[in-house]
Amino acid sequence: EAQVTQNPRYLITVTGKKLTVTCSQNMNHEYMSWYRQDPGLGLRQIYYSMNVEVTDKGDVPEGYKVSRKEKRNFPLILESPSPNQTSLYFCASSFHSGNTIYFGEGSWLTVV
C-alpha cells in the first residue's frame, strides 16, 4: 500500500530536549516536505526537499532542521524545542514537483 508514514504520532516533550520526527514514503517520490498545522493558520510549509541531499526552507523554518540522505526518508529535527513549536506536523511527498501531494497521518507534538 502506497503511504507516507510518520513517527511518533503523539509526543509530549520538555523545552530544550532534542527530538526527531521521522517520515518515510514507499512510493519512490522525489519531492518531500514538512508542514505544521495550527488553528486559524492552516498548513504552513517548514522545509522541503526536491531530491536526495537537496533541501530548502519553506515559510516557517526557524527552529527546525531536516536531512535527506535517502530518497525515502525525510526526518524533521527540533534541536531545542520550545512551546511555540507545539503543533500538528504533517510530512508529505509527491513524485515530482507539481504532482499530487500525499500526506502522512500527522504527528501531534506538545512541548511543555
Contact residues for another protein (CB under 8 A)? 4, 31, 33, 35, 40-45, 48, 50, 58-60, 90, 92, 94, 97-98, 100-106
Closest C-alpha to 46, from 74, 10, 26: 74
Please report how close the Cβ of residue 89 comes to another protein at its closest, in angstroms. Answer: 10
Q: Report d(CA 111, CA 94) in Å as an integer.
A: 29
Q: Compare residues 17 and 52 and give the one whose CB is closer to another protein.
A: 52
Please report how close the Cβ of residue 33 comes to another protein at its closest, in angstroms. Answer: 8
